[in-house]
Amino acid sequence: MRRRPSALDEYDERMRPFVAANQALATENPGGPASEESIDRAKRAITL
């Protein structure tokens, strides 16, 4: 029988793309702001 994912598993699956996109914003352009495209991608990385 297959194990049902825990709440932490579900949280991790949902949040990982959002966290990765936002962490990428911090390293994309260390000397200046992130591009609008990257900011928009980060905004769309999670569905509420």
pLDDT for residue 1 is more than 80: no
Q: What is the pLDDT of residue 23?
A: 92
Quote the number of domains for the chain: 1
pLDDT at 46: 85
Range of the domain at 13: 7-26+34-43
Instruction: Please tell me the predicted confidence (pLDDT) of residue 11.
Output: 92
- With respect to residue 12, please indicate whether it lies within any of the assigned structural domains: yes
Enter the pTM of the model: 0.69
Q: For residue range 3-43, list pLDDT tens digits in order.
A: 888 999 999 999 999 999 999 998 888 888 999 999 999 99
At residue 39, the pLDDT reads: 92
Closest C-alpha to 45, from 13, 17, 16, 20? 17
Query: 48 in a domain, yes or no?
Result: no
Residue 1 lies in a domain: no
Q: Is the dihedral of CA 33, 37, 40, 41 positive or negative?
A: negative
Determine, yes or no, domain membership for 2.
no
